[in-house]
Structure 1
Amino acid sequence: MPSSLRLIFVVTTALLLSACGTSLQRAPVEDRNPQPPKVAAPATPEPAASAASAAETKALLPGAENAGKAGYHTVKPGDALIRIALDNGQSWRDVAKWNNLENPNRIEVGQVLRVVPPGVDPSAVTAKPVAGTAKVETRPLDAKPPVAAASTAASAPSVAATTTPAPAAPTAAAGDEDGLSWAWPVTHPVSAGFDEQRNKGLDFAGKPGDPVFAVADGRVVYAGSGLRGYGNLVIIKHNNTYLTAYAHNRAMLVEQDQVVRKGQRIAEMGSTESDIVKLHFEVRKLGKPVDPAKLLPPR
């Protein structure tokens, strides 16, 4: 074999042996990070469908179609009917009637309540004199009605005692733009003044049993203890603009829906839900607390 051919053969043989040796040393391929099988994502409801479902749920609450409108109140956590009525210058019985509430103690968060009489424009409320003489039993919102005969017998002394005006009003009268004639609720000096954030009225310190007087003619729209923090409370509606509230009484001498006169004795001072004997007195103008000292006559 010629030397040139021998050289070519040797080189070719060496290359083949080298290639074989390399392939023998390579490890088999192994996938150490296998991909998990793909799982289809859960179907996401369409935004429009979610909104429709929420709207349908909201619409189930009574009066939901009136949410945000003037003359309506949307119930919030902690709301009570007596508080809603007071804050809107109304009788809780009227609010219950306007909203067909079978049980005034059961209102739902999100429920929308009418707080002005049906057919009345909330932006055009004007003051009108209070009239009428109907009387019903005095009791908290959650109390059960007593037996009719017992109620009549028990209420007779109270009615007789309160239909006679007090011998003298605490002070001289004062008037305002609604034609009301005002007087002070007690003869005691003010012990704590009005503060819109901390004290929504005037406080008067006194002794148990000291008389509390109606500050103007009107009708009792609440007499009970159903509003937490006020104790035994009397609320008088004087017209469509003004309510007055008399809190922490030891005894209440008037009944709900009873017509009272300025200077008439309506309660006795006490310390119900209070650390001391005092009268807490508020004036609400269209439901908003205002400083009574600006309406009451000078002393």
Structure 2
Amino acid sequence: MKRYWQVSLLNLLSLVLALSLAACAGALRWDPLTYTVEEGDTLYSIAFRHGLDYRALAEWNGIGSNYLIYPGDELVLSRPPAGVSPEQVAEVREQSADREAGRSSASSGDARASGRSRGQGSGTQSMPPRGDIDWQWPLEGEVLNQFGEGSMARGIQIAAEEGSDVHAAASGRVVYTGSGLIGYGKLIIIKHDDVYLSAYGHNQDILVEEGDDVDVGERIGRVGLGRGNRSMLHFEIRAEGQAVDPMRYLSD
């Protein structure tokens, strides 16, 4: 009987070891979407581009609450599976960086043109309006395309005369200004709280800088030319990284 228990215990330990090794191997085979940080990127702009919550993106990559990133950093764009340690995440990022460095110059150029990521989240999702943010229209004009329509389905396009003032739809802090996101022209992103961001694309001029605090209705830009060489503002609201219908939030 004693020998039987010894053999059973040995078998059990072997099984536990095998399962542990299998789990580690599975974790190391985790092959997430990745993105190589470029000059001018911010954590907010990368999260915005891929339809992610900036806080989740920071958590997955071990980025502190200052959200600092640097050109050349390799970021994973999906949540690590259960049981994957920070060290394993770092190993996956390092392996991805090595693969990126080994690509040909032509391949690198193609990757830059598509955002240098291996896939992008589409994410359009309806969420209930929040009553604690005083949303206002960024400008007056005809809505050319509703949410979910056309090639810029994540927001709405508002027709306005070129050079018209663009106003902050709610109070917050400017977290991105620039033209690094393909399809948005000169873009402004404002963080309103831990959940909501708003975005203003196709500006002719940007009148604020990253880090500026703005009040609702404050002038932040001027309308430029959008798709079809037509003067318009592209406007989005994001909730936890997901695009939501702005018409459900804007006052009549």
Within 1, Cα distance between the matches of 2:149 and 2:36?
22
Contact 1:283 1:291 in 2 (8 A): yes
Within 2, Cα distance between the matches of 1:180 and 1:281?
17
Identity %: 36
Within 1, Cα distance between the matches of 2:67 and 2:250?
37
Within 2, Cα distance between the matches of 1:297 and 1:245?
17
Contact 1:89 1:242 in 2 (8 A): no
User: C-alpha displacement at 1:219, in angstroms?
Assistant: 0.3
Partner residue in 1 for 2:185: 231
Within 1, Cα distance between the matches of 2:145 and 2:54?
26
Residue 278 in 1 paired to residue 232 in 2? yes
Partner residue in 2 for 1:185: 138
User: C-alpha displacement at 1:103, in angstroms?
Assistant: 6.1
Counterpart residue type for residue 258 of structure 1: D
Residue 268 in 1 paired to residue 222 in 2? yes
Structure 1 unaligned blocks of 5 or more: 1-47, 116-175
Residue 88 in 1 paired to residue 52 in 2? yes
Task: Give the aligned length.
Answer: 175
Partner residue in 2 for 1:75: 34
CA 1:255–1:277 in 2, change beyond 3 Å: closer, same or farther? same
1:98 match: secondary structure: coil
User: C-alpha displacement at 1:208, in angstroms?
Assistant: 1.6
Structure 1 or 2: larger helix share?
2
Corresponding residue to 1:194 among 133, 147, 151: 147
Within 1, Cα distance between the matches of 2:69 and 2:175?
18
User: C-alpha displacement at 1:196, in angstroms?
Assistant: 6.7
RMSD of aligned alpha carbons: 4.0
CA 1:193–1:233 in 2, change beyond 3 Å: closer, same or farther? same
Partner residue in 2 for 1:208: 162
CA 1:102–1:184 in 2, change beyond 3 Å: closer, same or farther? closer
Contact 1:220 1:236 in 2 (8 A): yes
Report which of the two structures shows the higher radius of gyration computed on alpha carbons: 1
Partner residue in 1 for 2:76: 112
Structure 2 unaligned blocks of 5 or more: 1-17, 80-128
User: C-alpha displacement at 1:274, in angstroms?
Assistant: 6.0
Within 1, Cα distance between the matches of 2:207 and 2:62?
26
Partner residue in 2 for 1:250: 204
Within 2, Cα distance between the matches of 1:184 and 1:202?
11
Contact 1:196 1:289 in 2 (8 A): no
Contact 1:219 1:258 in 2 (8 A): yes
Q: How do residues 149-188 of structure 1 correspond to structure 2 at under 5 angstroms? A: 176-188=129-141
Query: Once the two structures are superposed, what CA deviation does each residue of 1:66-121 show, in whole Å capped at 9, x if it has no partner?
Result: x69xxxx8426999755532123438xx789916998633244xx43699xxxxxx
Structure 1 or 2: larger strand share?
2
Contact 2:37 2:70 in 1 (8 A): no
